[in-house]
A and B are shown apart, each in its own frame.
Chain A
Amino acid sequence: MTGRPIFISVIMHCFAAVLVFVGLPSLKRDLPKDMPLVVMEIVQTVPKTNLIQGYKPNTAKEEKEPTIRKKQPAFPPKPPATKSAPAPKPVPKTKVEPVPDPKPEPKEPSPAAEVIPEKPTVKPKLSKVEAVQAPEAKPHVLPKSLPKQKPKRQKLKMPKTKPTPPKAAPKKPRTTKPTQTINAQANLAARVNKLVKDEQKRKQAATGVLQNLAKVKNQAEEAKKRRKEQERKKASDELTKTLSAAAGNAQKAPQPPRNMKIGVDVIDRLRMHLRDFWTPPPGAAGNDSLIVDIIVVIDSESNVLKADIEDRLRMSLDKYFKASALAAQRAMVDSSPLPIPHNPNGQQREFIFEFDPAFMSR
């Protein structure tokens, strides 16, 4: 009796093991490394500019976030200060428009260009990748030429300005240094004292004025300090929130865009397109087992970045398969760019192309 359950257990475990090894082929291959993902929250802040320009590459800037992320740990305390220094300048100029931050975005474009070169590993694609980089540089130029975009981008890194804009008065004190304000207050107090002493003749009135002035000074100073502290806290909180969100999204964001499905019409177009580039070796005729799987990675503009033969082991053992696999790989590389709609998210996508030479036997 006790042997039966053990027997059942052994059978079930064996079945499970077989399922794992036979049913999960992708465990045996090296899938391409996932690229850092874009922070969607940032995209949402710039929809207007996208619509106006009809330009997609905004997403490329988002990819820059990962590089910024790495720098964050070192910067958090100081960068805001250094950045806030230049920031004040635009703020006073555009007191009414002070919505976005111009500086953070212009810096991001360059990191995006750095990210892309990491993708191409296939030699022939190098030139194509370089070609890809060029168009991506355009978006960086365009925003610069468009003054409207700058302010919008400023939003991200200038959260401090949001609370302040309504009141112009408090901003001025910010620009004056604390030492200057103390001196001014001391002068005022001295003047008041002198006036009080000179006008002691007016005894009753003088004492009342002094008391009121002192109270006003103290209240003003306290209010200023509170505001400054609040602003700093808010700014730092917002920065940390956006940065942590960026980091979190990059790590946790779902992968679907990478394996985004394409429709039947696009597949038909692909078949038509590849037909002109694929010349299977004659030995493939009548050989139904010579079906080759090519793992293809394309960039956002559907340029082929990578075309790897999946079954490399068989390639080294079977000369017919090797010739077929090389022919299919050549077809993929040669047919770049593919007639697949561009990815608006600017991300790479991955497909498996299955080359079946059955047509040669018809």
Chain B
Amino acid sequence: MSALKERFSILSSLMALAAVTFVFAAELALAQQRIRITEGQVAPTPIAVAEFTNLGGEISDAGREIAEIISNDLLSSGLFDPIDSAAFIAPPKSPAIRPNFANWAPLGAKGLLVGSAEIDADGKLQVEFVLWDVITQRDITSGSGNASPDGLRQLAHKIADFVYEEFTGDAGYFDTQIVYVAESGTQSRRVKRLAIMDQDGHNHRYLTSGLDLVLTPRFSPRSHEIAYLNYFNDEPNVYIHDIRTGRSERLGSFPGMTFAPRFGPRGDKLIMSWAKNGLTDIYEMDLSTQEISQLTKSASIDTSPSYSPDGRKIVFNSDRGGRQQLYVMNTDGSDVNRISFGDGRYATPVWSPRGDIIAFTKMTGGRFYIGVMNVDGSGERLLAEGFLVEAPTWAPNGRVLMYFKQEPFENDGTGGETALYRVDITGFNERRVITPSDASDPAWSPVR
């Protein structure tokens, strides 16, 4: 009986296998032909941003300004090519009305943003918008919001973020701020102040008076705190500035010099360099308990630490190998590995918010460069070059880098102009960021 059962089970298994094989073969026979497309183009996406209308279908001043801000944001990214509104055949009257795509396709537009902006009885700005795909004639996304009239720019930046995200997959970064060191005066009597502005240069204001020299500001992930180095009474120390209250506070009292601060990914910790007794090492401070732990112990200069987005690794630069290079270690200071092996010196590493690459400053052949490399040191690419190019900072989406460039000084002491620039990680679309005065040491805020 057992032999019979065994034969039966084997037979049934084979039949099942045969049935599956048959179905699988039938599936293959009916499968559609696959055509692999491996070539495309890298070009800005043409998009039409219609001026926002009021309830009566007329273009309002607020609507015109909103459309202009969105267009400028998209244009500045280098990934969009907003179409001049003068070319519009029949501007839409309302986001509630389905546009006639026959009027937009000839313009080459792939996207169409239609919106309304109206100030209600309470004095609030009410905004609605719909983003259309002109090619497939479907709505991609839509939304609405309100703000006080002074919040118009922020509202427009947020809409631009929506558009950016839908077309690129990356989160938008237009509703962000830049804190930087505003410089003025002669080379010998240079005044350096903390200043903050929107990423497009608007809403500029100073955070410090300029009596003390300030350097290396860094945003907290909570976006309302800024850590920076302040030379108060000629004593350099790390301070925390609260944007909401306008107050600055020294971060503990340390003998020696603390500098190069940077917040942890959750904003609860801060790493920095501490120079004491002739040694410069990296320390981590728990902001809630004020406890400090030493992460590196070497006779060399370890500085410019930066957390990985997951908070598990730290990248920093050190001359422990005889020349300034980049190293990665665990957050407890263990497992230190060198990742840069190119010519020249590497400094100011910053881990991308996406976690995939690290930006750095490179000095070689008497020139400065801004570059990126994979977290294991491979795939090094240089994105910008100059007499002095330094201090890269990432946009929150990890697609854009900002840094500053300084021109050489002339013999008569003139020159030395310093300005902020930003570039896409592809190395294209480098743009100067307009500031009221010379600018250096930028830091990009998280999205508000």
Q: Which residues of A contact B (CB under 8 A)?
A: 1-2, 4-6, 8-9, 12-13, 15-16, 19-20, 23-24, 26-27, 122-124, 255, 259, 261-262, 267, 270-272, 274-276, 278-286, 295, 307, 319-324, 326-331, 333-334, 350-360
Contact = CB atoms under 8 A, between A and B. Distances in A.
Contacts of B110: 330
Contacts of B148: none
A354 B34 CA distance: 7
Contacts of B79: 282
Given A8-B10, A13-B13, A267-B35, A330 B40 contact: no
Contacts of B168: 281-283, 323
B138 A123 contact: yes
A122 B13 contact: no
Contact of A24 (B13, B27, B137, B170): B27
- What's the dominant secondary structure at chain B's contact region? mixed
Given A5-B9, A15-B17, A330-B135, A282 B424 contact: yes
A329 B167 CA distance: 12
Interface in B132-150: 133, 135-138, 140
A5 B34 CA distance: 41
Contact of A16 (B8, B20, B135, B399): B20
Contact of B32 (A271, A279, A280, A295): A295
B244 interface: no
B246 interface: no
Interface string B209-231: 00000000000000000000000
Given A16-B16, A279-B45, A354 B37 contact: yes
A23 to B, nearest CB: 6
Contacts of A358: 38
Contacts of A350: 32
Contact of B136 (A259, A281, A330, A356): A330
B10 A259 contact: no
B41 interface: yes
Interface residue tally of chain B, by bracket?
35 or more
Given A259-B30, A280-B40, A352-B34, A19 B138 contact: no
Nearest to A18: B20
A358 to B, nearest CB: 6
B23 interface: yes
13 contacts: A259-B30, A259-B32, A270-B37, A271-B37, A278-B39, A327-B167, A328-B37, A329-B136, A330-B110, A351-B33, A351-B35, A352-B33, A357-B40
Nearest to B135: A330
B298 interface: no
B37 A9 contact: no
B6 to A, nearest CB: 4
Contacts of B165: 319, 323
A326 B166 CA distance: 9
B35 A270 contact: yes
Given A281-B169, A319-B165, A323-B166, A6 B39 contact: no
The 4 closest A-B pairs by CB, nearest first: A323-B169, A12-B13, A278-B40, A320-B169
A359 to B, nearest CB: 6
B136 A354 contact: no
A279 B6 contact: no
Interface string B159-175: 00000011111100000
A318 to B, nearest CB: 8
B36 A354 contact: yes
B375 to A, nearest CB: 13
A274 B37 contact: yes
B189 interface: no
Given A276-B41, A281-B167, A354-B36, A20 B20 contact: yes
A4 B35 CA distance: 46
Given A5-B5, A259-B32, A353-B34, 15 more contacts: A20-B23, A124-B137, A262-B33, A270-B35, A271-B39, A280-B40, A321-B169, A328-B37, A334-B135, A351-B35, A352-B34, A356-B37, A356-B38, A359-B40, A360-B40
B169 A355 contact: no
B10 A9 contact: yes
A5 B167 CA distance: 57
A283 B399 contact: yes
A12 B13 CA distance: 6
Contact of B35 (A123, A259, A352): A352
Contacts of A285: 426
B35 A326 contact: no
Interface string B17-55: 101100110010011111111111111010000000000
A337 B153 CA distance: 43
B136 A333 contact: yes
A274 B35 CA distance: 11
Which of A282, A307, A320, A331 has the most chain B CB within a 10 Å cutoff?
A282
A8 B166 CA distance: 51
A270 B39 CA distance: 11
Contacts of B140: 326
Contact of A354 (B20, B35, B424): B35
Which of A279, A354, A355, A356 has the most chain B CB within a 10 Å cutoff?
A279
Nearest to B40: A278
Given A23-B24, A286-B356, A278 B41 contact: yes
Which of A272, A320, A327 has the most chain B CB within a 10 Å cutoff?
A327
Contacts of B101: 124
Contact of A124 (B9, B10, B135): B135
Contacts of B170: 281-283, 320
B12 interface: yes
A354 B36 CA distance: 5
B139 to A, nearest CB: 11
A96 B108 CA distance: 61
Contacts of A354: 34-37
A17 to B, nearest CB: 8
A339 to B, nearest CB: 12
Nearest to B428: A282
A323 B133 CA distance: 12
Contacts of B133: 326, 330
A279 B35 contact: no
Contacts of A5: 5-6, 8-10
A320 B138 CA distance: 19
B399 A282 contact: yes
Contact of A324 (B5, B41, B169): B169
B2 interface: yes
Contacts of B138: 123
Which of B2, B30, B41 has the most chain A CB within a 10 Å cutoff?
B41
B136 A122 contact: yes
